[in-house]
Structure 1
Amino acid sequence: MSFQIQKIETQQHINDFHHLPERLYKDNSWYRPPFRFEVENVFNREKNERFRKGGECERFLVLENGEVVGRFAVFIDPEKDERYDPKLGGIGFMEMENIPGIAESVIKFAKKWHQERGYAGFRGPINFGENDTFWGIQTEGFEDHNVYGMIYHHTYYEELIEETNPEKFDDVYMYQLDLEQPLPERLLRITERLRSKDHIEVRPIDKKNLERDGEMIRQIYNRAFSDQVVQEREEEFIGISRETIRQMIKKLKPVLMPETSPIAFVNGEPASFLVSVPDLHEISAKTGGTLKWWQLYHLIGFKRRAEKFRPLAFGTDPRFRGRGLEALVFAEGFKWTRKHYPNLKVLEGGFVSEKNWIMRRSLEALGCEIAKTYRVYKWMCG
């Protein structure tokens, strides 16, 4: 089978890039599209700081007899890639029809692309940017829709990619918690003990002071994850920049639900946090992934209609670990969420590497269970 690889250079190519998954999943009721503008922001040199950090990214269409049958992006990000020995580039945004040989053609092209840039290999599917979105090939949990920031794949994707003889690089888990079920008794005992201590305070994130609270969260997060040894977390953690946190605040402020996002303080110092948003894919499913001005009415009252929400980030400053603060933050957020947003039935989040035993144990102690698995592969160019 002969395929042609077309670099995306025109607006029509960009449209084809987005229309392909629309066609592939049009009969699949579980698929929910990402917002088109969020995908485009990944490839926007002004909005994606990875370009300014020395990164390079190109995206392509796969053609067969002039018809679009696949798409992908390849990229290098020296700040992240050089943490591996040998350094590894990336591939992502892979979508393809169920055609024998199509994945092999994509990977063959990606190997050549990386070799030309002095790379010995690459991993993927991953994102050219932050590590919590557009990540992996789904391998488990197909009978449920993909929550905000995550992707959905046909079951045949795994088979097509396995035909290219990759190495498994990592599995990433998404956890779920049924909010209509009580929290574990052990967790409740821990939180009752902590609530009685005068030097510990927990409050919702303050929407009137988001820049201040955002900076607190950024510092906790960076300390929490940079402190973990490499085997316990995603290997390419590089920290959240001030620019990234500002962009996140701007994007999420309209849909942020403060009661789902607690911050804990010890003697007045920011110590632990959880930040969540409603599942915005419940809107993208209705708009086809667009969000034009005439579609903004979908946002009205959305926070009172959403059924799922996703914790985007959570962490505890290593100076305050071992005190049960994660349990307290989670339990307070759980209590406030049930009180203020009874429409929310399911928490889905985590986005935890199988290697991150610290976070996995914490989530499972809170009563969360693995709901979906996303796999990342590695290919060597030799």
Structure 2
Amino acid sequence: MNAVKVTNDAEKREFLEFPPRLYKNDKNYIRPLNKDIQDVFDKKKNKFFKTGECERFLFKNIQNKTVGKVAVFVNKKYKQEQPTGGIGFFDCINDQETANFIFDFCKNWLQERGMEAMDGSINFGERDKFWGIVTDGFDEPLYGMNYNLPYYKDLFENYGFQIYFNQLCYSRPVHGDVSRVFTVMHAKHAKNPAISAKPMKKNQLEKFAKDFTEVYNKAWAEHGGGKEMEYAKTLKMFKAMKPVINEHISWFVYENEKPIAMWMNIPDLNQWFKYLRGKFGIWEKLKFLWVKKVRKNTKMVGIVFGVVPEWQRTGIDGYMIWEGTKHLRKHTDFEVTELQWIGDFNPKMMKIAESLDTTVTRKLATYRYLFDRNKPFERHRTL
């Protein structure tokens, strides 16, 4: 076995092309956009290079055939009990000996840089993309979500990795029965003339960015260590999302025009990107617009849900969900809504997801391997 550091264009292409060969018989595999992966390793685009180090490797057998790949990295902002590095973008043939060689290589690389543990398969960046190993629910992945073959779980666990935390994805059918609690609460608040619900509009992004920021900061800032969203950042995010915003699936609730709740959803971009085979050049962008127009997107993704403190536990969430659901059932083709993953270390968020009448339909795991095998293993602390 030979480890080859990715440096030249041919090796960078092979890093991208190995997974499609590995998954060629898997009908649920959706190739990520090349640009999304390349951006992770671009020092000009990934801010984590300012405080960290990351390298990519291909693994070749004696026939010089690629049998695995990985990125291994140190991120000083990734604060853990012990110095912990990461491995990500791991792909490997179904062979434990090959996987062990890759894991040993990463362990040695990280130990040389003072690390005492490694987490995988994670991203050299934020947790919102390319994070975790799928262990249950091998359906088409959401945009930006990791996907792998079922045997990856065994490759990690047989080596000695343990689950640091599970990542739970909740979903529900759009046309499924809605909890009676929601309809009762809708009927209650619908009688109040001060209460209104409005879908997000593309031609009013400034207004909805302001309303989003207000609700988010009141509902969630305390859960993010006091870190508030800035209006300018929200507006920038909304403008970037504008081409894929569906005006029927994101909803805001107001009391006398003051925002008190929000339910933000977007179409699952992978339902369109899966036709582009990883590319996103000029031709692919034109094809994307055509596919977006002619191909029904049946899955939407819940990205943020929030209610300001003074309206929590009043049933206003039930009013918002039923108001929005009635509308989108009539005006869209969506059949399923899935929430971005929630860590099992966050019971408050899990409870909120369950209160939305959802069930766990997909599970990923963030694995950890302690280099000192005598050290007690501890899972992620509960928030």
Assess same fold via TM > 0.5.
yes
Aligned to 2:178: 183
TM-score for both structures, normalised by structure 1 = 0.86
- What is the aligned partner in structure 2 of residue 263 from structure 1? 252
The residue aligned with 1:30 is 28
Aligned counterpart in structure 2 of residue 340 of structure 1, from 322, 331, 336:
331
Change in CA separation of 1:318 and 1:63 when aligned onto 2, cut-off 3 Å: farther
1:20 is aligned, of 14, 18, 22, to: 18
Q: Does 1:322 align with 2:313?
A: yes
Question: What is the deviation of 1:220?
Answer: 4.3
Partner AA of 1:101 in structure 2: E
Instruction: Give the structure 2 partner of residue 293 of structure 1.
Output: 282
Cα distance between partner residues in 2 of 1:375 and 1:260: 29
Structure 1: give runs of 5+ residues left out of the alignment: 231-236
2:266 paired with 1:277: yes
Match of 1:193 among 188, 196, 205: 188
1:215 to partner: Cα distance: 5.5
* Unaligned ranges ≥5, structure 2: 373-383
Letter in 1 for 2:150: T
TM-score (norm 2): 0.86
In structure 2, the partner of 1:137 is 133
* Local SS of the residue matching 1:227: helix
Q: 1:32 to 1:8 in 2, by over 3 A?
A: same
Q: Does 1:60 find its partner at 2:57? A: yes
Q: 1:101 to 1:360 in 2, by over 3 A?
A: same
Structure 2 equivalent of residue 107 of structure 1: 103
In the TM superposition, residue 216 of structure 1 has moved relative to its aligned partner by 4.5
Q: Is the 8 A contact 1:112 1:381 kept in 2?
A: no
Residues in 2 aligned to 1:306 and 1:250: alpha-carbon distance in whole angstroms: 21
| Pair 1:87–1:294, CA change in 2 (3 A) | same
Q: 1:91 aligns with which of 84, 87, 90?
A: 87
Match of residue 380 from structure 2: none
Alignment root-mean-square deviation, CA = 2.7
Match of 2:364, as an amino acid? Answer: Y
* Partner of residue 234, structure 1: none
Secondary structure, counterpart of 1:73 in structure 2? strand
Q: Structure 1's 238 and 90: CA in aligned 2 closer, same or farther, altered over 3 A?
A: farther
Letter in 1 for 2:246: M
Residue 172 of structure 1 corresponds to which residue in structure 2? 167
Q: Distance in 1 between matches of 2:299 and 2:243?
A: 17
Paired residues of 2:205 and 2:239 also in contact (CA < 8 A) = no
State which of 202, 205, 229 in structure 2 corresponds to 1:207.
202
What is the deviation of 1:242? 7.3
SS of the residue corresponding to residue 258 of structure 1 reads coil
Q: Tell me the equivalent position of 1:5.
A: 3
Q: 1:322 and 1:163, CA in 2 relative to 1: closer, same or farther beyond 3 A?
A: same
Q: Percent identity?
A: 29
Number of the residue aligned with 1:51: 49
Taking a change above 3 Å as real, the CA distance of residues 123 and 337 of structure 1, as seen in their structure-2 partners, is same
SS in 1 for 2:124: coil
Q: Judge which range, 61-70 or 166-175, deviates more.
A: 61-70
- Based on CA coordinates, which of the two structures has the bigger radius of gyration? 2
* Cα separation, partners in 2 of 1:92 and 1:197, compared to 1, 3 Å: farther
Distance 1:244 1:281 in 2: 25
- Quote how far apart the aligned CAs of 1:22 are: 0.5
Distance 1:5 1:240 in 2: 43
Contact 2:246 2:266 in 1 (8 A): yes
Q: CA deviation at 1:157?
A: 0.7
The separation in 1 between residues aligned to 2:55 and 2:90, in whole angstroms, is 13
Letter in 1 for 2:352: S
Amino acid aligned to 1:358: K
Contact 1:148 1:310 in 2 (8 A): no
Contact 2:182 2:321 in 1 (8 A): no
- Following the alignment from structure 1 to structure 2, what is the Cα–Cα distance between the partners of residues 15 and 228? 40
For residues 113-135 of structure 1, the C-alpha deviation after alignment (integer angstroms, 9 at most, x for no partner) is 32233322222212222322212
Shift of 1:250: 4.7
